[in-house]
Structure 1
Amino acid sequence: MTASAVHASALDDARTQLAEAVAALGYPDGLHRILGSARRETTVSVPLVRDNGDVEVFTGYRVQHSIARGPAKGGIRYSAGVNLDEVRALAMWMTWKCALLDIPYGGAKGGVDVDPLTLSPAELERLTRTYTQGISPVIGPDNDIPAPDVGTDEQTMAWMMDAYSATRGRGVPGVVTGKPLDLGGSLGRRTSTSRGVAHIALLALKKAGIEPNSATSVVQGYGKVGADAADYLGDAGVRIISVSDRFGAVHNADGLNLPLLRAHVTEHGSVAGFPGGEQIDPAAVLELDVDLLVPAAVEGVIDGGNAHRIQARIVVEGANGPTTAEADAALERAGVLVVPDILANAGGVVVSYFEWVQAQQGYWWTLPEVERGLDDRMTAAWAAVLDQAGATGTTLRRAAMTLAVGRVARAHRARGLTH
């Protein structure tokens, strides 16, 4: 499937999930249209002078899906093939994620169609500053707060904050989250998504009656989210037998040595070639016989073509939209427990919210305070979704979506259906 087809499928899946929630809640067509429509979509040209003097023009996007519950919130991704449909889907999922975790934000997402690995650090900085200038009229600490995502990091956020601040004539640390600590970032933010994924995965194992020290797991996408999630799970006693990234995959039935794997990736930039296991096809990682599968890369990796080969008892979605609607139905029929992305990977936006609050009040919390707050939020959301699923006899995804959509709909109605 081409990248554009995957992105279109992601938007279709997001709309299907919304339609199912709307039907379950009995909402009228007009409210459905409001909930499914983005409040604002911005497309900008991003010219870049390369180090050799050549000029290239990239395309950037920022979609604000909702501000009914508060400022829009969502990451910025740099990835080849990013298009408006992908960003629309991701922005919609961010709306439900923030609502499910009861964070006073709406959803947004942004991206630039570029492979960051093809740019030098100086080129990345120039690209980021130009992109930030392009979207600066629609972002800000009170209306839309970007954060890191695929292909971006805390350095990207530092450049964005500085570029935005230059347009305002003053420092505005609250315009982005996921910043370096020296610029007002929060302790615990870098690993927050991973910590949240692992926390929810351990709760899911408990629900299934599986002890962590007897559990096996694979992590598809050993990157920003997957690497730390693997470490957290390993620390809890889970045996990680296989991981993959965009360049390769490694498998060891006795369990991978995670510290040595981390050192190998730091030195070589990939899990490929790691001597502590067998090199296997990255696609095969998804289909291994394990207790826990964590897809932590990109959307659409579990689809109608491979869902019937998934052998994991539990799937915890570390990535956004890794399971298509067709695959979701197949996994449900097979009795696989799927923990949806809007719950499983919400740790990042929780600590982003903490960072934003700290910036607003000029007071920074300790790491134990941040981690305790994250764990409490994730546990409360897990309990609410379990209760909803039990009360309605439905899947965790439908339960999570119904809770989230209901909260956003109530906010729209309280505001008069105008925002």
Structure 2
Amino acid sequence: MNTTVVKSSMYDTVMRQFNQIADNINLDQNIRKILEATTNEIVVHFPVKLDNGTVKIFTGYRVQHNNVLGPYKGGLRYHPTLDIEDAKALAMWMTWKTALAGLPYGGAKGGIQLNPREYSMAELERISRRFTYALGENIGPEYDIPAPDVNTNEQTMAWIADTYMSTKPAAERSCHKHVVTGKPVGTGGLEGRDRSTGYGVYLTIKLWYQNKNENLKGKTFIVQGYGNVGYWVSHFLTQDGAVLLAVQDAHATLYNQDGIDAENLREHSKPLQGSIKGFSGAVEMPAEDFMGLSCDVLIPAALGNQITADNAYAIKAELVAEGANGPTDVEGERILRDRNIAIIPDILCNSGGVIGSYFEWLQNRNGEIWTMDEVMDKLERKLTEVFKKVANIAKEEDLDWRSAAYILAISRIETAYKQRGIFP
């Protein structure tokens, strides 16, 4: 008899993670009901005229999960597979991530269902601006603050901010600059915001090894995804003496046993819209062999549900550092735990991005300008503080790191609800 294995979705993964921790900490049943549900699920369909004169209807999403701790916060991604279920899962993870970091934010996520490679820059600008207009008052600098995510960047954020501000009276426009974070520095962005997520992944790996009285020199690592996060984590790790053995993206899987030059690979990929294919400093290998490469650290920094029951048995790394959101499904994680492979969970590992976003938001609100050194120092201190708290819970309660991080995050939200009460 043939049996079909049904792969879990990211939403299945986040709900199973949440329910496990809610049971573990005996979460108040009424608060549990609130956190199981999203607050708002916004779907917009909007027309855009393409370069050839035809009009196409696009579908955009913004899911707002919870805002008990502060305004909704989370990225916008442009990807052909994005749907409402993915946006719900990603929004929930943002709620846990901001709570874990101790930020005055809730969680949201969204984007547009499209492949940006199929459109010109002029078309992407019109799409982004029209999406912003369609969202209207569903975003705002004190209500819901988007940021870059997969296939979006500082240019996307500049278009969104400009469009949103143009809908406000002229005298008020400068007060709405912080409607998004991740903007170019010249339009109110933060020095260092571009590298904050990748830096956070690097720093949590460094701190994890420090916990073992080890350093990064000579450690080998492989990276899935070589966008903003994949590049910057590779940049910082190699600066500390680690060796980049392999990189995988949607177009190629590269390997070099002597190490791949992170900077040269970055320069190669820039003119190719981020593709690593054709890089002369490494050889191509079968994509299915990537996860099974011998290394110290595996860094999934692309999309969700990449480590599953199908490939978790093959992984040889001692540490998985989750640069992406939700890269490990529940069954994949169970296998890794059984094999004593440690995981730095996404809500801790890649939280440098939202912490950097918070600094940018503060800078805009207060009319300040911080230097790169100031930003990186603040980022390091904040991430180290959160890392140590999670490490202490994991040690004291004899828990895996994801459970420890979730307990800290969800307990903070539970405390806020108990102190504030439920309206009316």
- State whether TM-score is above 0.5: yes
| Counterpart residue type for residue 240 of structure 1 | L
> Does the Cα contact within 8 Å between 1:221 and 1:296 map onto a contact in 2?
yes
Q: Which residue of 2 aligns with 1:177?
A: 181
| Counterpart residue type for residue 133 of structure 1 | Y
Distance 1:332 1:209 in 2: 22
Q: Which residue of 1 aligns with 2:145?
A: 145
Deviation at 1:283, TM superposition (A): 3.4
| Counterpart residue type for residue 374 of structure 2 | E
Q: Which residue of 2 aligns with 1:29?
A: 29
Deviation at 1:221, TM superposition (A): 0.6
Please provide the CA RMSD for this pair: 1.4
Q: Which residue of 1 aligns with 2:54?
A: 54
The 5 Å alignment of 1:148-163 reads 148-163=148-163
Query: How has the CA–CA distance of structure 1 residues 18 and 70 changed in structure 2, closer, same or farther, with 3 Å as cutoff?
Result: same
The 5 Å alignment of 1:188-203 reads 188-203=192-207
Deviation at 1:209, TM superposition (A): 4.6
Q: Which residue of 1 aligns with 2:236?
A: 232
Q: Which residue of 2 aligns with 1:247?
A: 251
Aligned equivalent of 1:365, options 363, 370, 375: 370
Q: Which residue of 2 aligns with 1:376?
A: 381
Distance 1:326 1:335 in 2: 14
Distance 2:44 2:423 in 1: 26
Q: Which residue of 1 aligns with 2:318?
A: 313
Cα-to-partner distance string for 1:31-76 (whole Å, 9 max, x where unaligned)? 2111111111110002111110111111100011111000010000
Distance 1:370 1:296 in 2: 23
- Partner of 1:137, secondary structure, is helix
Q: How many residues align?
A: 414
Instruction: Verify: 1:387 aligned to 2:392, yes or no.
Output: yes
> Does the Cα contact within 8 Å between 1:79 and 1:112 map onto a contact in 2?
yes
Query: How has the CA–CA distance of structure 1 residues 267 and 139 changed in structure 2, closer, same or farther, with 3 Å as cutoff?
Result: closer
Q: Which residue of 2 aligns with 1:327?
A: 332
The 5 Å alignment of 1:334-345 reads 334-345=339-350
Distance 1:363 1:270 in 2: 37
Distance 1:71 1:330 in 2: 37
Aligned equivalent of 1:259, options 247, 259, 263: 263
Distance 1:328 1:373 in 2: 32
Distance 1:16 1:82 in 2: 20
- Partner of 1:322, secondary structure, is coil
Cα-to-partner distance string for 1:318-353 (whole Å, 9 max, x where unaligned)? 000000011111100000010000000000100100
Distance 2:216 2:49 in 1: 51
Distance 2:270 2:367 in 1: 35
Distance 2:423 2:106 in 1: 14
- Partner of 1:111, secondary structure, is strand
Q: Which residue of 2 aligns with 1:127?
A: 127
Distance 1:10 1:412 in 2: 26
Q: Which residue of 2 aligns with 1:204?
A: 208
| Counterpart residue type for residue 386 of structure 1 | A
Q: Which residue of 2 aligns with 1:293?
A: 298
Distance 1:291 1:95 in 2: 30
Q: Which residue of 2 aligns with 1:63?
A: 63
Deviation at 1:205, TM superposition (A): 2.4
Deviation at 1:257, TM superposition (A): 2.0
| Counterpart residue type for residue 189 of structure 1 | R
Aligned equivalent of 1:218, options 222, 236, 250: 222
Distance 1:297 1:271 in 2: 14
> Does the Cα contact within 8 Å between 1:70 and 1:106 map onto a contact in 2?
yes
Aligned equivalent of 1:346, options 348, 351, 361: 351
Instruction: Verify: 1:403 aligned to 2:408, yes or no.
Output: yes
Gaps of 5+ in 1: none
Deviation at 1:390, TM superposition (A): 0.9
- Partner of 2:290, secondary structure, is helix
Instruction: Verify: 1:98 aligned to 2:103, yes or no.
Output: no
Distance 2:209 2:316 in 1: 15
Distance 1:210 1:291 in 2: 12
Query: How has the CA–CA distance of structure 1 residues 21 and 53 changed in structure 2, closer, same or farther, with 3 Å as cutoff?
Result: same
> Does the Cα contact within 8 Å between 1:204 and 1:314 map onto a contact in 2?
no
Moved >6 Å (runs of 4+): none
Aligned equivalent of 2:282, options 268, 277, 287: 277
Paired-residue identity, %: 40
Distance 1:73 1:263 in 2: 31
Cα-to-partner distance string for 1:253-289 (whole Å, 9 max, x where unaligned)? 1111222222221244422121112211233222211
- Partner of 1:287, secondary structure, is coil
Deviation at 1:212, TM superposition (A): 1.1
Distance 1:175 1:58 in 2: 22
TM-score, normalising length from structure 2? 0.95
Cα-to-partner distance string for 1:67-90 (whole Å, 9 max, x where unaligned)? 100001000000002100000000
Q: Which residue of 2 aligns with 1:113?
A: 113
> Does the Cα contact within 8 Å between 1:45 and 1:57 map onto a contact in 2?
yes
- Partner of 2:305, secondary structure, is coil
| Counterpart residue type for residue 213 of structure 1 | K
- Partner of 2:22, secondary structure, is helix
Q: Which residue of 1 aligns with 2:81?
A: 81
Gaps of 5+ in 2: 1-5
Cα-to-partner distance string for 1:75-119 (whole Å, 9 max, x where unaligned)? 000000210000000000000000101011000001110111111
Deviation at 1:25, TM superposition (A): 1.3
| Counterpart residue type for residue 50 of structure 1 | L
